């Protein structure tokens, strides 16, 4: 699942490209998935890998879709300093696409907050 940036640019919307391939961040409150509460799953827009379920989502009030947990072995993490201080960035293990950052202010039981860009997630409703 390795593509060059010009190949990615053909298959992604410009904003999706900016987030997935260049670690960009969408404007808070700009994704329809902030208020998504139906039962279903959230997939990577780059490779369709299943990342989160609706049971893992919660309302953090941050303006970005937030999850206290992901499925196992779907992400890799690294530390970035894009804001001048260390943050834990995570990206899809399958296509390498950047999704967001993990913070330690989430709810129990994990205490984690996966702050995910909504524009790089595809929601699939479970009926």
Catalytic residue annotation: 115
Per-residue tokens: 35: 């208020």
Q: Cβ closer to Zn ion: 56 or 92? A: 92
Whether the Cβ atoms of residue 98 and residue 89 lie closer than 8 Å to each other:
yes
Query: Contact between 50 and Zn ion (CB under 5 A)?
Result: no
Q: Give the x/- contact pattern for Zn ion in 68-107, rule: CB under 5 A.
A: ------------------------x-xx-x----------
Cβ distance 102 to 77 under 8 Å?
A: yes
Query: Rounded CA gap, 126 and 41, in Å?
Result: 7
Sign of CA dihedral 43, 44, 46, 49: negative
C-beta closer to Zn ion: residue 2 or 127: 2
Chosen residue from 26, 46, 65, 70 binding Zn ion by CB under 5 A: 46
Six-digit token pair at 17?
A: 């490209």
For binding to Zn ion (CB under 5 A), which residues are involved?
44, 46-47, 49, 92, 94-95, 97
């Amino acid at each position: 699942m390795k593509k060059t940036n010009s190949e990615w640019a053909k298959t992604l919307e410009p904003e999706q490209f900016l987030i997935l391939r260049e670690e960009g961040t969408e404007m808070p409150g700009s994704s329809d998935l902030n208020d998504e509460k139906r039962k279903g799953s959230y997939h990577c827009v780059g490779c369709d890998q299943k990342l989160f379920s609706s049971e893992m989502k919660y309302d953090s009030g941050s303006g970005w879709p937030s999850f206290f947990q992901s499925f196992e072995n779907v992400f890799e993490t690294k530390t970035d300093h894009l804001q001048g201080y260390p943050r834990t960035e995570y990206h899809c293990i399958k296509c390498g696409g950047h999704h967001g950052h993990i913070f330690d202010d989430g709810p129990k039981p994990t205490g984690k907050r996966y702050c995910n860009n909504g524009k790089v997630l595809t929601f699939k409703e479970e009926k």
